[in-house]
Chain A
Protein backbone atom coordinates (compact mmCIF):
# COMPACT_ATOMS: atom_id res chain seq x y z
CA UNK A 1 0.00 0.00 0.00
CA UNK A 2 1.72 3.18 -1.19
CA UNK A 3 -1.19 5.48 -0.55
CA UNK A 4 -1.51 8.54 1.62
CA UNK A 5 -5.13 9.43 2.28
CA UNK A 6 -6.47 12.83 3.29
CA UNK A 7 -9.90 13.83 4.52
CA UNK A 8 -11.90 15.78 3.74
CA UNK A 9 -11.25 16.47 0.05
CA UNK A 10 -12.91 19.86 0.30
CA UNK A 11 -13.65 22.07 3.30
CA UNK A 12 -15.39 25.41 3.57
CA UNK A 13 -15.20 27.11 6.94
CA UNK A 14 -15.93 30.46 8.46
CA UNK A 15 -13.33 32.51 10.26
CA UNK A 16 -14.75 31.58 13.66
CA UNK A 17 -14.97 27.84 13.02
CA UNK A 18 -12.75 25.08 14.34
CA UNK A 19 -12.02 22.23 11.96
CA UNK A 20 -9.43 19.49 11.48
CA UNK A 21 -7.71 17.98 8.49
CA UNK A 22 -6.69 14.34 8.67
CA UNK A 23 -3.95 12.36 6.98
CA UNK A 24 -3.20 8.65 7.16
CA UNK A 25 -0.52 6.34 5.79
CA UNK A 26 0.11 2.62 6.29
CA UNK A 27 3.54 2.34 4.71
CA UNK A 28 5.37 2.28 8.03
CA UNK A 29 6.90 5.68 7.31
CA UNK A 30 8.29 7.49 10.33
CA UNK A 31 8.20 11.04 8.96
CA UNK A 32 5.09 12.97 8.01
CA UNK A 33 4.70 16.43 6.59
CA UNK A 34 2.16 19.19 6.04
CA UNK A 35 2.52 21.48 3.02
CA UNK A 36 0.43 24.44 1.93
CA UNK A 37 -0.06 25.28 -1.73
CA UNK A 38 -1.63 28.47 -3.03
CA UNK A 39 -3.00 28.63 -6.56
CA UNK A 40 -0.31 28.58 -9.28
CA UNK A 41 2.47 28.36 -6.66
CA UNK A 42 4.67 25.44 -5.57
CA UNK A 43 3.96 23.63 -2.29
CA UNK A 44 5.47 25.21 0.81
CA UNK A 45 6.44 23.23 3.89
CA UNK A 46 4.55 23.91 7.12
CA UNK A 47 5.45 21.14 9.58
CA UNK A 48 7.55 17.98 9.81
CA UNK A 49 6.96 15.17 12.28
CA UNK A 50 9.66 12.59 12.81
CA UNK A 51 8.95 9.56 14.98
CA UNK A 52 5.76 11.26 16.14
CA UNK A 53 7.61 14.34 17.38
CA UNK A 54 7.43 17.77 15.80
CA UNK A 55 10.87 18.38 14.28
CA UNK A 56 10.27 21.37 11.99
CA UNK A 57 7.80 24.25 12.23
CA UNK A 58 8.31 26.73 9.43
CA UNK A 59 7.11 29.72 11.46
CA UNK A 60 3.49 28.79 10.90
CA UNK A 61 0.88 30.95 12.71
CA UNK A 62 -0.60 29.38 15.83
CA UNK A 63 -4.04 29.21 14.25
CA UNK A 64 -2.64 26.06 12.61
CA UNK A 65 -1.97 23.34 15.17
CA UNK A 66 -0.50 20.00 14.08
CA UNK A 67 -0.90 16.75 15.94
CA UNK A 68 0.56 13.29 15.40
CA UNK A 69 -1.47 10.81 17.51
CA UNK A 70 0.52 7.83 16.22
CA UNK A 71 2.94 6.90 13.48
CA UNK A 72 0.18 6.45 10.90
CA UNK A 73 -1.90 9.54 11.55
CA UNK A 74 -1.33 13.26 11.18
CA UNK A 75 -3.87 15.95 11.95
CA UNK A 76 -3.95 19.66 11.31
CA UNK A 77 -6.28 21.56 13.61
CA UNK A 78 -7.59 24.86 12.28
CA UNK A 79 -8.98 27.72 14.34
CA UNK A 80 -9.77 31.36 13.56
CA UNK A 81 -8.41 31.17 10.04
CA UNK A 82 -8.27 34.08 7.64
CA UNK A 83 -9.47 34.14 4.01
CA UNK A 84 -5.82 34.22 2.87
CA UNK A 85 -5.40 30.77 4.43
CA UNK A 86 -7.53 29.34 1.64
CA UNK A 87 -5.29 26.87 -0.18
CA UNK A 88 -4.63 23.22 -0.97
CA UNK A 89 -3.19 21.48 2.10
CA UNK A 90 -1.01 18.51 1.28
CA UNK A 91 0.17 15.73 3.54
CA UNK A 92 3.21 13.57 2.75
CA UNK A 93 5.24 10.80 4.35
CA UNK A 94 8.69 9.29 3.92
CA UNK A 95 10.91 6.58 5.35
CA UNK A 96 14.63 6.09 4.73
CA UNK A 97 14.95 8.49 1.85
CA UNK A 98 13.59 11.87 2.84
CA UNK A 99 13.52 12.99 -0.75
CA UNK A 100 11.22 10.15 -1.76
CA UNK A 101 8.04 11.45 -0.25
CA UNK A 102 4.57 10.15 -0.94
CA UNK A 103 1.87 12.78 -1.11
CA UNK A 104 -1.83 12.60 -0.50
CA UNK A 105 -4.34 14.22 -2.86
CA UNK A 106 -4.76 17.21 -0.60
CA UNK A 107 -7.61 19.02 1.10
CA UNK A 108 -8.84 22.12 -0.68
CA UNK A 109 -9.72 24.62 2.04
CA UNK A 110 -11.81 27.72 1.54
CA UNK A 111 -12.13 30.22 4.39
CA UNK A 112 -15.09 32.55 4.11
Chain B
Protein backbone atom coordinates (compact mmCIF):
# COMPACT_ATOMS: atom_id res chain seq x y z
CA UNK B 1 0.00 0.00 0.00
CA UNK B 2 1.12 3.54 -0.76
CA UNK B 3 2.27 5.38 2.36
CA UNK B 4 1.38 8.83 1.07
CA UNK B 5 -1.73 10.96 0.68
CA UNK B 6 -2.13 13.50 -2.10
CA UNK B 7 -5.07 15.60 -3.33
CA UNK B 8 -6.62 13.95 -6.39
CA UNK B 9 -6.44 17.04 -8.59
CA UNK B 10 -5.20 20.61 -8.76
CA UNK B 11 -5.30 23.45 -11.26
CA UNK B 12 -2.57 26.01 -11.85
CA UNK B 13 -2.40 29.02 -14.14
CA UNK B 14 0.38 28.96 -16.70
CA UNK B 15 3.42 30.89 -15.51
CA UNK B 16 2.45 30.64 -11.87
CA UNK B 17 4.05 28.39 -9.26
CA UNK B 18 2.43 25.00 -8.78
CA UNK B 19 2.61 23.74 -5.19
CA UNK B 20 1.76 20.07 -4.84
CA UNK B 21 1.38 18.78 -1.27
CA UNK B 22 2.01 15.28 0.02
CA UNK B 23 1.31 13.80 3.42
CA UNK B 24 3.58 10.99 4.63
CA UNK B 25 2.96 10.98 8.37
CA UNK B 26 4.25 7.41 8.86
CA UNK B 27 7.58 7.98 7.13
CA UNK B 28 10.52 6.13 8.73
CA UNK B 29 13.84 7.72 9.56
CA UNK B 30 15.64 6.12 6.64
CA UNK B 31 12.97 6.75 4.03
CA UNK B 32 13.37 9.38 1.39
CA UNK B 33 10.60 11.28 -0.34
CA UNK B 34 10.59 10.82 -4.12
CA UNK B 35 8.52 12.63 -6.70
CA UNK B 36 7.66 11.30 -10.13
CA UNK B 37 5.29 12.57 -12.77
CA UNK B 38 3.53 10.89 -15.66
CA UNK B 39 2.47 12.85 -18.67
CA UNK B 40 -0.44 11.32 -20.54
CA UNK B 41 0.49 8.12 -22.44
CA UNK B 42 4.15 8.31 -21.38
CA UNK B 43 6.21 6.46 -18.80
CA UNK B 44 6.73 8.02 -15.37
CA UNK B 45 9.58 10.51 -15.07
CA UNK B 46 11.75 11.01 -12.01
CA UNK B 47 11.67 14.60 -10.73
CA UNK B 48 13.46 14.95 -7.40
CA UNK B 49 13.99 13.32 -4.03
CA UNK B 50 15.09 14.31 -0.54
CA UNK B 51 15.49 13.12 3.04
CA UNK B 52 15.09 16.13 5.31
CA UNK B 53 16.75 19.10 3.68
CA UNK B 54 15.07 21.11 0.98
CA UNK B 55 16.23 20.18 -2.49
CA UNK B 56 16.24 21.99 -5.82
CA UNK B 57 17.11 20.93 -9.34
CA UNK B 58 16.40 22.18 -12.82
CA UNK B 59 12.88 20.80 -12.75
CA UNK B 60 11.53 21.59 -9.31
CA UNK B 61 12.05 22.30 -5.63
CA UNK B 62 11.17 19.97 -2.78
CA UNK B 63 10.28 21.38 0.61
CA UNK B 64 10.13 18.86 3.48
CA UNK B 65 8.71 19.87 6.84
CA UNK B 66 10.95 19.65 9.87
CA UNK B 67 9.01 16.69 11.28
CA UNK B 68 9.19 15.05 7.82
CA UNK B 69 5.50 14.20 7.90
CA UNK B 70 4.70 16.20 4.81
CA UNK B 71 6.34 17.78 1.80
CA UNK B 72 5.58 20.10 -1.10
CA UNK B 73 6.79 19.87 -4.66
CA UNK B 74 7.12 23.28 -6.28
CA UNK B 75 7.18 23.87 -10.00
CA UNK B 76 8.24 27.54 -10.01
CA UNK B 77 6.81 28.58 -13.39
CA UNK B 78 4.31 26.01 -14.58
CA UNK B 79 3.84 25.50 -18.31
CA UNK B 80 1.22 23.59 -20.25
CA UNK B 81 3.76 20.77 -20.64
CA UNK B 82 3.72 20.29 -16.87
CA UNK B 83 0.17 18.95 -17.04
CA UNK B 84 0.56 15.43 -15.66
CA UNK B 85 -0.15 13.11 -12.75
CA UNK B 86 2.36 13.74 -9.96
CA UNK B 87 3.26 10.90 -7.60
CA UNK B 88 4.82 11.28 -4.17
CA UNK B 89 6.53 8.08 -2.96
CA UNK B 90 8.47 7.28 0.19
CA UNK B 91 11.04 4.52 0.31
CA UNK B 92 14.45 3.67 1.68
CA UNK B 93 17.14 3.62 -1.01
CA UNK B 94 19.82 0.98 -1.01
CA UNK B 95 17.27 -1.49 0.31
CA UNK B 96 17.66 -4.19 -2.29
CA UNK B 97 16.26 -2.49 -5.34
CA UNK B 98 13.02 -1.71 -3.58
CA UNK B 99 10.22 -1.27 -6.07
CA UNK B 100 8.22 1.90 -6.26
CA UNK B 101 4.69 1.72 -4.87
CA UNK B 102 2.62 4.33 -6.66
CA UNK B 103 -0.37 5.87 -4.95
CA UNK B 104 -3.15 7.60 -6.85
CA UNK B 105 -1.15 10.82 -7.27
CA UNK B 106 -2.32 14.35 -8.02
CA UNK B 107 -3.55 15.24 -11.48
CA UNK B 108 -2.17 18.72 -12.16
CA UNK B 109 -3.84 20.71 -14.92
CA UNK B 110 -1.95 23.80 -16.05
CA UNK B 111 -4.37 26.26 -17.61
CA UNK B 112 -3.48 28.90 -20.19
Contact = CB atoms under 8 A, between A and B. Distances in A.
A42 B32 CA distance: 20
A86 interface: no
Contacts of B43: 4, 90, 92, 103-106
Contacts of B103: 42
Contacts of A48: 97, 99
Dominant secondary structure at the B interface: loop
Interface in B21-62: 32, 34, 38, 41-46, 49
Contact of A100 (B46, B87, B99, B105): B46
Contact of A103 (B44, B94, B98): B44
A76 to B, nearest CB: 15
A101 B98 contact: no
Dominant secondary structure at the A interface: strand
Contacts of A104: 43
Contact of A99 (B42, B49, B104): B49
B71 to A, nearest CB: 14
Interface string A69-100: 00000000000000000001010101011111
A45 B26 CA distance: 22
A103 B89 CA distance: 15
A90 B44 contact: yes
A10 to B, nearest CB: 11
A98 B105 contact: no
A1 to B, nearest CB: 16
A90 B32 CA distance: 23
A75 to B, nearest CB: 17
Given A48-B97, A90-B43, A97-B93, 5 more contacts: A42-B85, A90-B44, A98-B97, A103-B43, A106-B43
